[in-house]
Amino acid sequence: MARTVKRAFKFRFYPTDAQAALLLRTFGCVRFVYNHALAERVRAYRVEGRPMSYGDMSAALTAWKRTPEMAFLNAVSSVPLQQALRHLHAAFTAFFAGRAGHPVYKSKKRSRASAEYTRSAFRWRDGRLILARMDAPLDIVWSRPLPEGTEPSTVTVSRDRAGRWFVSILVEDRVAELAPNGRAIGIDMGLQSLATLSTGEKIAGLRNERTDAVRLARLRRSMARKVKGSANHGKARLKVARAHARIADRRRDHLHKITTRIVRENQTVVIEDLPVRNLLGNHNLAGAISAASWRQMRDMLVYKAAWYGRELIVVDRWFPSSKTCSHCGAVRECLPLAIRSWECACGAVHDRDVNAARNILAAGPAERVNACGGPVRPSPRKRTRRGSKKQESLPVRAGIFWCEPR
């Protein structure tokens, strides 16, 4: 059985000088329209007490283009500007639904420079992509072919801090579900090992992470010695950005390989709902937690499980997976992070991470699961804090996701 999903294929391209100038101008106009529309919506609500819909913002954009102060908006395609208004409207919709915070202004230095083109703003002929206001196709490096018989519905052009240009092509594709195999696995995410499986396997993080961190620190010190605004400061900043990009690319590739293998080998995957944002408040471990990319790994498991017909279950964050004995179910009162192995009163000796992974599996889809040949029974879950909000603790079902495939 195959399901239809939306897949975004990301490629690198090398624009000409004219194309780069037009795209940079488009990025600036997109950011300007987004910020100006956000300010106008806030002003209309606070001063006039009225909300603004997408139609109101679109009409306001038309009026802005007719003024001498904003006539520069006519120099770029109108489609990316309209898409910026749609993104702002979606941000406010998520805010009012309680799924996100209030929209914030886009910064020229910190925000991702991108522009989105819909079908009316680009031409796709024989594998050649020509954007609006351009007379030549983009020089795309086709690292992999698009699915046969598909045509792009949306194209997003972006430029990262390292100066690399990317184009993300969204297509509709049919993905065949994997054959059910009946296997279930629990995953405990950690710092010493990126992921520990209920089978006892420990998946390490990236190699040479310490070497990359030392090199990045050296580049940052070199940039700090330069005068801000000077040419040397710009060169040093570019070196730092390229180092960050290399680390991020290697980490993403590593996570793709891990999550793909886990989803292909198991029918049911059980993970723990980790409050990453709260854990980052620990300044001693914030750097290691950020480098582990737990949330990114979870997002990959979510959409890959949906693609291939697998089931992903998220266990409540308050479940004491590390302190519970996976043999008898007894719960210890205290288990500091320094203790990596412990012995229960029943005589069972546990590796902290393996024991947590087995308990996470036991708290998954079945009331009682046989993990690694031994019976494991989950203990009742208790809330130890008040006023804390839980995230998703229910099974994540199949759906359609817009993610970069691997």
Please name every residue paired with 167 in a beta bridge, in sequence order, or none if there are none. Answer: 11, 157
- Of 116, 173, 188, 212, catalytic: 188
Q: How far apart are CA 91 and CA 268, in angstroms?
A: 33
Given CA atoms 34, 37, 41, 42 in this order, what sign does their dihedral have? Answer: positive
311 included as an active-site residue? no
Q: Let me know the angle formed at the C-alpha of 285 by 280 and 291, rounded to the nearest 5 degrees.
A: 80
- Of 116, 173, 272, 311, catalytic: 272
Q: How far apart are CA 307 and CA 305, in angstroms?
A: 5
Residue 382 DSSP one-character state: -
Q: Give me 73's structure tokens.
A: 């908006």
Could you give phi then psi for residue 145, rounded to 5 degrees? -80, 155
173 included as an active-site residue? no
The beta-strand segments (E) located in 286-351 are 311-315, 341-343, 349-351
Alpha helices in 153-285 (DSSP H): 209-224, 231-265, 276-279
| Burial profile 331-363: b = 16 or more Cβ within 10 angstroms, e = fewer | eeeeeeeeeeebebeeeeebebbbbbbbbbbbb
212 included as an active-site residue? no
Residues marked as catalytic: 188, 272, 353
